[in-house]
Amino acid sequence: MTQPQGKHIAVIGAGIVGISVAAALLQEGHRVTVIDPAPPGAPHAASYGNGAFISPASILPMSQPGLWRRVPRMLADRRGALTIRWRDLPALTPWLVRFLWAGATGDKVSRTARALSGLLADAPQRHIDLAARAGLSGLIVQNGLLYAFRERAAYEAEAFGWELRRDNGVVMVEVEGEALRRAAPALDPAYRFGVLIKDGAHCTDPGGYVAGLADWLTGQGAVLRRDRVIGFDLPAGQLRGLRCDNGDMACDLAVIAAGLASVPLAASLGDPVPLAAERGYHVELTDAPFTLDIPIMPQDGKMANVTTRGGLRAAGQVELAAPDAPPNWARAEILFEHLTRSYPALSGVTVSQVTRWQGNRPSTPDGKPVIGRSTRSKDVVYAFGHGHIGLASAPMTAALVADLVAGRPPACDLTSFSPTRFP
């Protein structure tokens, strides 16, 4: 049965997922209050410093068959794309075991890819539509995304993943030779093969996009409250309101979309979700001698290269560590070195000429977000743990949350995203 409109809904978290959820709920006639201790789009958030890709191809989890055999070598490589801070290893071990098990077989990875495809297949168009409604169309550009390889053999070594993408409807075109040079004239000619995701898009200012959406929402009647939620008023499972640092707030429903801060809130509702801080970095060169018309991911560096309003950005790296551990800026320097190797025109640039950033991706071990109702109360909905796909998947996640709030059948099966899937 469809719930009546006009409920007061609290959205906990003002990142791209929370702001997108707020937009969807406001459009359906609800009163919406977004609660976060920090301003939307600020540098503290993963939404601010991500790789800016909005890619239907981002459906593969990090964990893959046979990965466990390579982990010791990967972790011994201080310059590799994956590292673990050893002092945090004991605390991370339960998550790592789940992580390796989640990708232990091709069937498991295939099921994950199908589930994520439901979130990402039309992600570019959803962002185009959302940005247009908010008067921010200039921040979303759809002219493709290029994955570049030094040799075709490197692409063929990843055949399982690319075949999964094709099986899930991702439209891609192989480019090499002159076609690759035309698509990416600044790229080192040593890259001889590429895959163009024709429907891919990117955001030219991820932090500014979130801030702009938040400003638009307040103009539409939403309320932004700078506060921290610490608990729920839930007599007999019915939500009456939130307990916050700066005083309680009454509401009818709540959506938890607070990234890593979602963990204690979900646990208090009977849903212990294993979430790790999958820490990422970026470097950004303000005065690059070229712009990238099409964002590029050189596959040897596993980094997103994109021209943003702030400059030429290289984003990536996976560092597993405590969320409050100080940044290891050597990880950002690795990105910078990959950047200068990938583009000959950067040969004279020094690391002192770039800005750098570090943020925490809220990542589940199986690479899928948590979307669904809490165990303790149907009045609390989860929308967190999006890891690498927060930006791309935010509008579809918002649509699914709106379905749950309205009592409609969700647009895709939510079983794979259940908060109770973790043993």
Q: Exposure of 399 by Cβ count < 10 A (0-12 exposed, 13-18 middle, 19+ buried)?
A: middle
Q: Mind listing the pLDDT tens digit for each residue in 242-276?
A: 999 999 999 999 999 999 999 999 999 999 999 99
Q: How far apart are CA 244 and CA 214, in angstroms?
A: 21
Beta-sheet pairing, 249-250 with 303-308? unpaired
- Per DSSP, the residues of 23-45 read HHHHHTT-EEEEEESS-TT-TTS
Burial code of 172-183, b = ≥16 C-beta within 10 A, e = fewer?
beebeeeebeeb
- Residues lower than pLDDT 50 in the chain: 1-4
CB 19 within 8 A of CB 210: yes
Q: How far apart are CA 392 and CA 213, in angstroms?
A: 15
User: Which distant-in-sequence residues (6+ apart) come within 8 Å of 145 by Cβ?
Assistant: 53, 55, 57, 196, 197, 200, 201, 202, 294, 295, 296, 297
Measure the CA dihedral 14/136/400/5, to 10°: 80
Q: How far apart are CA 418 and CA 423, in angstroms?
A: 12
**Backbone φ and ψ of 130, nearest 5°:** -65, -45
Q: How far apart are CA 296 and CA 304, in angstroms?
A: 6
Beta-sheet pairing, 8-12 with 193-197? unpaired
Q: Which of 71, 72, 74, 68 is nearest to 101 (CA)?
A: 68
Q: How far apart are CA 143 and CA 202, in angstroms?
A: 8
pLDDT of residue 1: 32
CB 262 within 8 A of CB 13: yes
Instruction: Find tokens 């400003």 and name the residue.
Output: 215
Bridge partners (DSSP) of residue 282 are 315, 357
The distance in angstroms from the start CA to the end CA of the chain is 31
Q: How far apart are CA 57 and CA 124, in angstroms?
A: 11
Q: How far apart are CA 346 and CA 222, in angstroms?
A: 44
Q: At residue 343, what is the residue type?
A: Y
User: Which residue pairs from 66-70 have beta carbons closer than 8 angstroms and sit at least 24 positions apart in sequence?
Assistant: 67/100, 67/103, 68/100, 68/104
Residues in the chain: 423
- Separation of CA 170 from chain center: 18
pLDDT of residue 173: 97
Q: Return the structure tokens found at 261.
A: 């801060």
The three-point CA angle 421-75-188 to 5° equals 105
pLDDT of residue 67: 77
Q: How far apart are CA 311 and CA 329, in angstroms?
A: 19
Bridge partners (DSSP) of residue 315 are 282, 304
User: Which distant-in-sequence residues (6+ apart) come within 8 Å of 382 by Cβ?
Assistant: 255, 256, 257, 262, 266, 271, 273, 370, 371, 372, 373, 374, 419
Instruction: Find tokens 């977004």 and name the residue.
Output: 34
CB 267 within 8 A of CB 394: no
pLDDT of residue 2: 39
Q: Return the structure tokens found at 77.
A: 């490589």
User: Which distant-in-sequence residues (6+ apart) come within 8 Å of 297 by Cβ?
Assistant: 51, 53, 145, 146, 147, 148, 303, 304, 305
Q: Mind listing the pLDDT tens digit for each residue in 26-51?
A: 999 999 999 999 999 999 999 899 99
